[in-house]
Amino acid sequence: MTEPTLFELSSPGRAGVTFPQPDVPHFDLPDESLLRDDLPLPELAEVDVVRHYMALSRYNYSVDSGFYPLGSCTMKYNPKVNEDACRLPGFLFTHPLQPIETVQGNLLLMYQMQEWLKEISGFAAVTLQPAAGAHGEFTGVLMMRAYHKARGDHKRVKMLIPDAAHGTNPASAGMLGMTVKVIPSDSRGNVDLDALRAECDETVVGMMLTNPNTLGLFDEHIEEVIKLVRDCGGLMYGDGANLNALLGIVRPGDLGFDVMHFNLHKTFAVPHGGGGPGSGPVGVSQRLADFLPSPLVGIVEEADGETPPLYGFITPKHSIGRMKAFHGHFGGGLVRAYTYIAMHGADGLKDVSQYAVLNANYLAARLRNTFKIPFDRICMHEFVMEGRVEGSDVRALDISKRLMDYNFHPPTNYFPLIVREALMIEPTETENKNTLDAFAEALLKIAEEAKTDPELVKTAPHTTPFGRMDEVKAARELVLCCWLPEGYDSNQ
Amino acid sequence: MTYIPISPTEREAMLKTIGVESLEALFEAVPARYRFPKLNLPPALTEMEAASLLTEIAASNENTRGDLVSFLGAGMYNHYIPSVVDHILRRGEFYTAYTPYQPEISQGTLQAIFEYQSLMAALTGMELSNASHYDGATAAAESVNMAFANFRGKRRKVVISPTVHPQYRETIRTYTQGMELTLVGDDATADLQAAPEALIPWIDLDTALVIVQYPDFFGRIFDYTRLIDAAHAQGALVCVVANPIALALFKTPGAMGADIVVGEGQPLGIPMWFGGPSLGFFTTRKQYVHKMAGRLVGETVDSRGQRGYVLTLTAREQHIKREKATSNICTNQGLLALASAVYLATVGKTGLKQVANLCYQKAHYAAEELSKIPGVGLCFPQPFFHEFAVCFPKPVAEINEHLLEYGILGGYDLGQDYPALKDHALIAVTEMNSRDEIDLLVEVVKEALS
């Protein structure tokens, strides 16, 4: 039941959308040596294209099709009104280099978004430029580096990162040539304070901490952790991947974090788009504000009586520079997130986090007698359990695949690395109790199957359009492209 | 409670199962003095009110489909987007899925990316493509990371043409500030009239990468073959930043011998959206695949013998290699890669050539008509695609202000980035500009100068 590729579907002479003839006099193309002689693209009619992508869409699982408890990814429901908002012509068809007087709507929206994110997080300033969480993280680490450098403090080369951290944290530090020092977790899933204390010296750039961490736990000594890092002259980086637990609950800026990236595609319901685009604004404390990427949006002329303020671009004094072309993921990111925040307000956002945490704890409560939860205390918006069953050799991967037969998307597998056979489950606040119960019951049933019929679980999935893929073959043969079939004659 | 589907009764039952009294009791690990801050945000709107607010905000912009006629480009272009593109993007199965970690239930996304990779390789004349980067500028910056990794950090120089987009050069400088490498070739005194071969003296055995743009920032088409040969003679790699629409007509960077071709995919069916999100494409040759950053989809078979696709060579990526990874990137621009693939599939070979030819013809008509105005001239004699630099006898800002009164968005003021090009504007013309609009542009420029 596989769908042919676009190239296999191609038929010489077929065309989809075509364009008018030129309405200007003819100009010769430059010398032939500057031209290409072939253009090996597929030739299809519009209906071919639509049926092709409809066929592909049916092979996908998505939030719109069902429960997607992928830990650390916050796969919440994506409200439909946001889709309409970001497609308003005033947003879609504005050029990033238009005179500011012609794009005051866009700039107002960006300015308010900066203000709202400051208020939600407790930071002094926010940049909207970074394109994704990892990009925001890189932005943050660049600012931390620039801050120390600007003070003439050149010996700081060491970044402290807990063992439960996302892989992007060490990669971001590595991109700047920093040394990564891994800090272990203690028996309650907190940062091990003694281990941290031993590393805190005058070579510390800072610490990159996800809080709640990737075990879904809020660090019980967060204030001591931050104090230790700051006392040795380090800066505190907060990975905002798990901010969905904290809206209206606590502001990272109040806790003493210096910098944090937001994932608008997680916390503020921007759809994940099959892997992007995301949007990763960054908030900073006062001491990093001058290092933000440029430009920011500011008021360049104050309001005067009836005249509203004029919004424009401003450059921070010691800006690290530009992180990408233009102003960030405006349309697909900021407009959707703005609509979402506008519809929630302070109380609505607090509800989001409270119910996200309620749902996670409820699921954990329903599962803890069957699956081991290694750091078992009240969790935040997600929890991690061991995906194995006493007396069976079924693994977390098998359980994940078997969940597909029950029409659920599996949790995140094998992360964080500090939990054996980890299954990281994040239900989000947009799931109802029936769905959570059905998911829990499916997992309990699979635990039974693991003992009574382990082969059934190990060979799953059985009901999906595709079975397990041969990943070794893919990596060994490296077929990364397809082309028009051999002998395809486009002049036919 | 807008999108929260839990009733108070259900909530109480769930709290009971958990064994806590209230929602607030779930947060005792949070330091009490910071717990439950009062956020100062505007009161929540209903959907109806939000829709109306957003409509009002959007309407207070002047857009290039109803309010303004645009001759502005400089890295982002006003092209026609066939209706079918957004109809496909609006499928919840595509836009509400995440990265295809579970291939059994993600073949839609995986095959779509595989086809995107194939289309981009075909368009650029290269052997393979990754699943995309954030935008053209960051894709260009990733080419530096890749070249640096390719030489294990032993070559410490990057030669960059002054006619690469200024914001791309700025982004590359931001990205590389921790890397102990030098960027040369684009200082303010560089001769902008010079042929690409003028970069050759900069290239030596310490050079990891040479970066040029095609068409360059001023819209010019050069054959970079000689420059690329000279770079290869020193063992250096070459990255060409390309406009994908131009590649329908002009010799591919692949045919010139480029090692990496990157660029901004926005012209391929993606709205300008005030600058983003857009699409950074990245293509290269097979021999560099292990050094390339970004997601990659490969073909394989499943346990039932069916052809299928998976994310492959993931050992290059941050979640495995951690601080030793070439890049920290962990997503791609999935939905916009899909948009460009739907666009390319729909317009196909014929349509893309038509678009490119329309851009070329109309831009040349505009250039010819504008240069008939006394005091106005083309800056550069070389062939160009759909963008060209003109000099005016007056500041560009003044002319653009006058144009705006007639609803015309004038060209990009090149003096902002190139002191030598004071009073020069970069004019972009696409298939969206009618002859009448071009004639109006010419008339109003005349009037502004009189």
Alpha helices in B83-193 (DSSP H): 83-89, 92-95, 107-124, 136-150, 166-175
Which chain B residues are within 8 Å of A19, Cβ to Cβ?
A: 80, 347, 351, 354-355, 358, 431
Per-chain mean pLDDT for chain B: 96
Q: Do B275 and A96 touch (CB under 8 A)?
A: yes
pLDDT tens-digit series, residues A359-415: 999 999 999 999 999 998 999 999 999 999 999 999 999 999 999 999 999 999 999
CA pair distance B92, A34, nearest whole angstrom: 43
Per-chain mean pLDDT for chain A: 96
Asked if residue A322 lies in contact with residue B171, where contact means CB atoms within 8 angstroms, the answer is yes
Q: Do B251 and A272 touch (CB under 8 A)?
A: no
Q: Do B333 and A277 touch (CB under 8 A)?
A: yes
Q: In Å, how far is B133's CA from the nearest CA of chain A? A: 9
Which chain B residues are within 8 Å of A220, Cβ to Cβ?
A: 29
A351 touching B (Cβ < 8 Å): yes
* Local confidence band at B317 (pLDDT 50, 70, 90 cut-offs): low
The pLDDT score that the predictor gives to residue B209 is 98
Q: Which of A90, A324, A481 lies at the smallest CB-CB distance from B59?
A: A90
The pLDDT score that the predictor gives to residue A458 is 97
Which chain A residues are within 8 Å of B107, Cβ to Cβ?
A: 56, 59-60, 465-466
Q: Do A60 and B107 touch (CB under 8 A)?
A: yes
Q: Which of B274, B344, B368 lies at the smallest CB-CB distance from A94?
A: B274
Share of chain A above pLDDT 90, in %: 94
pTM here is 0.97
Q: Angle at CA B312, nearest 5°, toward B307 and B316? A: 175
Asked if residue B307 lies in contact with residue A1, where contact means CB atoms within 8 angstroms, the answer is no
Q: Angle at CA A411, nearest 5°, toward A192 and B335? A: 110
Write phi, then psi, for B223 (nearest 5 degrees).
-90, 115
ipTM over 0.90: yes
The pLDDT score that the predictor gives to residue B316 is 66
Q: Which of B61, B276, B331 lies at the smallest CB-CB distance from A103?
A: B61
Which residue, chain included where needed, has tokens 């490119």?
B356
CA distances from B35 to A39, A174, A258, A366, A470 (A): 61, 34, 19, 27, 49
Write phi, then psi, for A204 (nearest 5 degrees).
-80, 120
Q: In Å, how far is A174's CA from the nearest CA of chain B? A: 4
Q: In Å, how far is B191's CA from the nearest CA of chain A? A: 23
Q: In Å, how far is B189's CA from the nearest CA of chain A? A: 22
Q: Coil, strand, or helix at residue B94?
A: helix
Q: In Å, how far is B2's CA from the nearest CA of chain A? A: 7
Q: Coil, strand, or helix at residue B346?
A: helix
Q: Bridge partners of B299?
A: B309
* Local confidence band at B319 (pLDDT 50, 70, 90 cut-offs): low
Share of chain B above pLDDT 70, in %: 98
CA pair distance A314, A319, nearest whole angstrom: 11
Structure-block tokens of residue A183: 């800090």
Asked if residue B362 lies in contact with residue B433, where contact means CB atoms within 8 angstroms, the answer is yes
The pLDDT score that the predictor gives to residue B315 is 74
**Most distant CA atoms of chain A, gap in Å:** 80
Task: Give residues 392 to 421 of B whose Cβ lies within 8 Å of A.
Answer: 400, 404, 409, 412
DSSP class per residue in B72-113: --TT-------HHHHHHHT-HHHHT--S--SGGGBHHHHHHH
* Local confidence band at B297 (pLDDT 50, 70, 90 cut-offs): very high
Q: Do A167 and B319 touch (CB under 8 A)?
A: yes
Task: Give residues 191 to 220 of A whose Cβ lies within 8 Å of B.
Answer: 217-220
Asked if residue A7 lies in contact with residue A483, where contact means CB atoms within 8 angstroms, the answer is yes
CA pair distance B245, B257, nearest whole angstrom: 20
Q: Coil, strand, or helix at residue A397?
A: helix
Task: Give residues 223 to 262 of A whose Cβ lies within 8 Å of B.
Answer: 223, 248-251, 254-255
B9 touching A (Cβ < 8 Å): no
Asked if residue A331 lies in contact with residue B270, where contact means CB atoms within 8 angstroms, the answer is no
Amino acid at B167: Q
Mean pLDDT score, A128-147: 96
Q: Do A430 and B129 touch (CB under 8 A)?
A: no
Amino acid at A441: E
